[in-house]
């Protein structure tokens, strides 16, 4: 797969052929196909040759980056509509689908993708992103230009987009370790949210519309969809089979837990005679039984097994390059996992990942620990909203006004939702204000929580946590890292558990069905039985394992010493007093390590994306070399 890019100029005479430059920036992740660029009036767009198609009249053009797993079914639907497909290529199928259903054609697609459609008849450009958000798509609306691209760096290299940091986004990053939803770290640059499309025209008017809603599926607003628990394993089975049909050389991630067994078993069942490789990252301090479980899976299913230890020093040497590829600062362990797993593979192939499976197959550990006896205000807020507002509040206000207003706050944003969000942060509100008085003015965690869960009638911590993970943590951190870091190693990542049909079934059932005593849900019975027999965990916390190891193997205080004189301090973004406070610390605990690590990633990103002109290729600087140059 390649990448896509385009520009709407003020007029046809000001076409500066910027798309050629943008595509050069994306070369590190394109196939061997040549780039192709097309211009129509004041619109210029391009991609690699296999990702562009047009109709016979040359008035509808499609650019696509991604893979589609229901092309045979789409062809049948198109033919039933009386449309003749002379060429059953992906581009021709997309052109035909758009010609029939217009913007709604995206609702018929199954896969991971970003798509651009130029419709000359409507004089409009459309941008589409897949429902789960596996393929990011960035856009910028300036006074004279509209730009879009698969990567942030392709926008910056044009010189049209100012390399100015968005301080609200940086504050959000320091809170969560990633930047959520449509925001980006560059001022006035946006990400198209998953399940949305954007329509713009030459006059500069743009609108964004949602075509797929996770919230609607979670709250039962989609009519005619009724699922049973047994449907989930069936849909996962179908999802993996479809991907096996499309991809040739397949491998899988062996994580040492039950979800890995489920994925590997389905893959072997779909490819009984095909050689399959399995890849395992060995975390120091990881329980021995988990590594042994991975080896047992490989032996049982005749999977060729590859493993690699997570060595801290080796990764530090590559950290500058990794951050350049990422586009956005991401502080989670999934960055290092994605990099090493992509690097570990032997030659070009597709890696099937169990990403997303633990989000809907079991409770998060943080969620399990949250419930506590409700306060009076929380208990009163559990009554129907109309009763609480119209009957309880007026009476309670006369007796105890403080409790009455606490009840109203609970009705709007229950405290357990804020507690859940608090459990996800690196820097909480107080810590952020001490670290960066400047950035903390731009981001309030309680306001974020209220707006994030606005109009979401989730009644449990579990469903609210599921919503948070699927709507932002996965697409904006895990999947973004996988997408960005596969290209340099000629690898494709495939996430069958995050097929949107699987997600629809799971989230519609989770309001009513809870994990059992072992925390398992939706697993096939044979996998569940094996898991219970071997007492294997559904999911282990790789971030915690990594942090615990690196605390002992990395002198993080040397990193803090570098940050003391870094550009974040120099620019007044972080307070040097915060850094100096910990330079004399003799014992580093996990939370402090994560805070220092997130600052290191941000410092590297700031130097590459803000302090210097955008480069066409990854820098070759070591961490030390980057810090001694400006």
375 versus 127: the higher-pLDDT residue is 127
363: confidence class by pLDDT, cuts 50, 70, 90:
very low
The closest of 42, 182, 192, 18 to 118, measured between CA atoms, is: 42
Q: What is the pLDDT of residues 103-150, one digit of tens each?
A: 999 999 999 999 999 999 999 999 999 999 999 999 999 989 999 999
CATH 3.40.50.620 domain extents, the chain: 235-364+469-499+531-539
Mean pLDDT is lowest, of 82-91, 125-134, 285-294, 379-388, for 285-294
The closest of 257, 252, 310, 307 to 283, measured between CA atoms, is: 310
Residue 196's pLDDT is what?
98
Orientation angle between helical segments 461-468 and 415-424, nearest 10 degrees = 40
Sheet holding 146-149, edge to edge: 35-40, 43-48, 4-8, 146-149, 138-141, 189-191
Integer Cα distance of 443 and 440 in angstroms: 5
Q: What is the pLDDT of residues 487-522, one digit of tens each?
A: 788 788 899 999 999 999 988 887 677 655 455 677
549: confidence class by pLDDT, cuts 50, 70, 90:
low
High-pLDDT (> 70) share of the chain, %: 83
Q: Summarize the confidence of residues 554-566 as an average pLDDT.
A: 78
Residue 369's pLDDT is what?
43
Q: Summarize the confidence of residues 57-83 as an average pLDDT.
A: 94
455 versus 176: the higher-pLDDT residue is 176
CATH of 4-212, one of 3.60.20.10, 3.40.1110.10, 3.30.565.10, 3.30.70.20: 3.60.20.10
611: confidence class by pLDDT, cuts 50, 70, 90:
very high
Task: Identify the CATH homologous superfamily for domain 235-364+469-499+531-539.
Answer: HUPs (3.40.50.620)
pTM value is 0.90
20: confidence class by pLDDT, cuts 50, 70, 90:
very high
Mean pLDDT is lowest, of 86-95, 340-349, 484-493, for 340-349
CATH 3.60.20.10 domain extents, the chain: 4-212
Taking the CB of residue 36, how many other CB atoms lie within 10 A of it?
16
Q: Summarize the confidence of residues 535-562 as an average pLDDT.
A: 64
Is residue 370 predicted with pLDDT exceeding 50?
no
Q: Summarize the confidence of residues 50-67 as an average pLDDT.
A: 92
Is residue 366 predicted with pLDDT exceeding 50?
no
Residue 360's pLDDT is what?
63
Residue 446's pLDDT is what?
80
Residue 394's pLDDT is what?
81
Residue 62's pLDDT is what?
96
Q: How far is CA 372 from CA 147, 205, 459, 464, in A?
A: 49, 49, 15, 16
């Amino acid at each position: 797969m390649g990448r896509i890019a385009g520009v709407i100029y003020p007029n046809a005479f000001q076409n500066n052929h910027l798309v050629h430059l943008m595509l050069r920036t994306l070369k590190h992740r394109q196939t061997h196909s040549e780039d192709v660029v097309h211009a129509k009036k004041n619109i210029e767009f391009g991609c690699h040759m296999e990702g562009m198609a047009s109709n016979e009249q040359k008035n509808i053009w499609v650019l696509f980056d991604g893979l589609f797993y229901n092309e045979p079914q789409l062809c049948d639907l198109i033919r039933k509509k009386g449309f003749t497909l002379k060429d059953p290529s992906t581009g021709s199928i997309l052109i035909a689908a758009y010609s029939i259903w217009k913007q709604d054609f995206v609702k018929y697609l199954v896969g991971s993708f970003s798509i651009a459609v130029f419709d000359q008849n409507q004089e409009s450009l459309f941008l589409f992103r897949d429902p789960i958000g596996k393929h990011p798509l960035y856009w910028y609306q300036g006074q004279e230009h509209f730009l879009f691209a698969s990567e942030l760096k392709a926008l910056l290299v044009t010189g049209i987009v100012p390399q100015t940091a968005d301080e609200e986004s940086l504050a959000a990053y320091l809170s969560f370790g990633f930047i959520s939803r449509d925001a980006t770290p560059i001022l006035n640059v946006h990400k198209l949210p998953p399940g949305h499309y954007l329509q713009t025209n030459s006059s500069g008017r743009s609108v964004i519309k949602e075509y797929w809603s996770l919230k609607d599926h979670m709250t039962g607003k989609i009519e005619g969809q009724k699922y049973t628990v047994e449907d989930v394993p069936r849909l996962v089975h179908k999802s993996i089979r479809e991907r096996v049909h499309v991809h040739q050389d397949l491998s899988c991630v062996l994580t040492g837990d039950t979800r890995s067994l489920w994925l590997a078993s389905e893959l072997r069942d779909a490819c009984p005679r095909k050689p399959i490789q399995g890849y395992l990252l060995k975390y120091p301090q990881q329980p021995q039984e988990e590594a042994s479980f991975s080896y047992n899976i490989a032996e049982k299913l005749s999977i060729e097994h590859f493993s690699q230890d997570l060595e801290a020093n080796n990764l530090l040497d590559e950290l500058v390059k990794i951050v350049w590829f990422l586009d956005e600062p991401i502080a989670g362990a999934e960055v290092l996992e994605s990099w090493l797993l992509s690097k570990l593979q032997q030659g070009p192939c597709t890696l099937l990942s169990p990403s997303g499976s633990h989000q809907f197959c079991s409770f998060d550990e943080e969620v399990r620990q949250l419930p506590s006896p409700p306060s009076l205000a929380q208990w009163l807020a559990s009554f129907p909203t109309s009763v609480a507002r119209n009957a309880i509040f007026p009476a309670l206000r006369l007796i105890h006004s403080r409790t009455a207003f606490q009840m109203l706050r609970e009705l709007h944003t229950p405290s357990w939702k804020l507690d859940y969000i608090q459990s996800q942060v690196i820097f909480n509100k107080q810590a952020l204000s001490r670290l960066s008085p400047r950035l903390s003015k731009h981001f309030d965690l309680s306001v974020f929580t209220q707006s994030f869960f606005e109009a979401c009638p989730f009644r449990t911590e579990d469903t609210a946590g599921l919503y948070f993970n699927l709507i932002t943590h996965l697409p904006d951190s895990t999947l973004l890292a996988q997408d960005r870091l596969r290209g340099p190693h000629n690898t494709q990542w495939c996430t069958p558990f995050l097929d949107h049909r699987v997600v629809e079934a799971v989230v519609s059932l989770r309001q009513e069905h809870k994990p059992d005593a072992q925390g398992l849900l939706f697993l096939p019975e044979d996998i569940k039985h094996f898991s219970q027999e071997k007492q294997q965990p559904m999911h282990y916390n790789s971030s915690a394992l990594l942090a615990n190891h690196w605390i002992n193997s990395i002198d993080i205080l040397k990193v803090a010493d570098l940050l003391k004189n870094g550009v974040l301090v120099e620019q007044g973004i972080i307070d040097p007093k915060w850094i100096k406070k910990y330079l004399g610390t003799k014992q580093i605990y996990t939370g402090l390590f994560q805070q220092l690590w997130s600052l290191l990633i941000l410092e590297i990103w700031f130097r590459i994306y803000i302090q210097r002109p955008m480069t066409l290729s990854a820098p070759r600087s070591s961490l030390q070399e980057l810090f001694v140059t400006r």
